[in-house]
Structure 1
Amino acid sequence: MNIHEVMAHKAEQHKLTMMTCYDFSMARIINQSDVDMLLVGDSAAMVMHGHNSTLPISVEVMALHVAAVARGAPDKFIVGDLPFLSYRKSLSENMYAVEQLMQAGAHAVKLEGIVGNEALIQHIVDSGVPVMGHLGLTPQSVNALGGFKVQARNQAEQDKLKKDSLLAQQCGCFSLVLECVPQQIAADITALLEIPTIGIGAGVHVDGQVLVLQDMLGMSGAFKPKFLRQYLDGEQLILQAMNAYAADVKSQQFPSTEESYQ
């Protein structure tokens, strides 16, 4: 899939599927799946590195994750997240961050927020790099938002979200993530925009959905937000396999004669 096919999905009313991915082994499996796009998200800070927010991850670490995913999923459209403050510096530093993710194998970059980023988005797009926007709950602003919670609950906030969404499109974003917003405002914005919307906690009336891979596979412990559907009890299945291995080793059932060199 390429950027033109991504955008065509909206006109053809075909739903887009997107999933986060951070490593080669999972990317290799997803490359064989029906999933359309991969997001190498800054959520790697939490999912892969154990932090309590997305803030600590660096451009260099994000580039390593992008490169691993690109090697594992050569047939998928890959979006790389620009990490916290990496695009709020000088133009040269901002473009260095973009350069690192694109040279690592991303086909597009994603950044959070629109106000204050308008000129940069236009510059990135004019430089030949597709940009995915991200509005609603923007995890990099968790301290300003007062936590991870639903956004745009009142009319004023909804009006601003619509205005910012149109501005993102005007600046050249090829698509827009809407996170943790009421489904009706997500539906209104989706109808308003010419570019596709990708929802996470935004209801069914968007142009596509994205989920964190480990959350969807049931590997995130007690983390079960309302919008999450678990398609596998991965944590228990992996534990069962590990315990079976440990038991076989202790009982000398592994390795067998057939699994040993003579």
Structure 2
Amino acid sequence: MTERELKAKSVEYRKNILKYIYKAKAGHTGGSLSCIDILNVLYNQVLNVGPDNFKSPDRDRYIQSKGHCVEALFVVLADKGFFPESDLETLCQYKSHYIGHPTRKVNGVEQNTGALGHGLPLSVGAAIAARLDEKDYKVFTLLGDGELPEGSNWEAALTASHYKLDNLCAIIDHNKLQITGKTSEVCNTDPIDGKFESFGWAVRHVDGNDIQQLIETFAAIPFEKGKPSLVLAHTVKGKGISYMEDVLKWHHGVPTAEEFEKAQHELDEALTLI
């Protein structure tokens, strides 16, 4: 896909995220909007994975550690053909597999996640397995900055460095807000880059809502031979919707009918400017 096509795809993904959250009357709106550009570039430009090879041992692995932002993952998986988009009409309904966190009952979901701090350890295990099996696949995981205080992340970071897992890339959706406030005030983990570097990781900063920067950054992985890669993606919570951007209540806010129409109008306008 061209950069322009990817930008248009991000707008369509945002429209769908809001559509299904609005219909379900539940969801993690702000974080799904902040990370969707990352998922867009990964699934449409980077990952060697799709419905046709999802059972192949040679596929790339993507594990969404910030599982509460599953709406972003679902709309991308539907777009890639893992399941019919109409399935998302059942989001958060009784007996639906499309619940508020990723589950392997949904085609295309690599691992169940939801309890924060699990995605990186799972990804380290997958990257070690690739080495043991002499496979060339890469492992990507997306973390929220609000889950970094979980100790399991740092055990995994140390292990990844020890085993020189340069087939592993962790991405942090650094939108700087979590459910109860600013990450710097709830439990400050700055400097994130310095901490990971001290654990033996190669780190790069990127505007996580800039398609071209994301393309260039992922193309450079591994950043250093023999080191796991960390992409510190600076994003905006609620990105793309003027009244949601960097506003705490949209962590899991659901738009009213009026707010939904306003958001869709803003996204339609954004599409004309690409």
Query: Which TM-score band (shorter chain)?
Result: 0.3 to 0.5
Larger Rg: 1
TM-score (norm 1): 0.36
Higher relative contact order (CA closer than 8 Å, sequence separation 6+): 2
TM-score (norm 2): 0.35
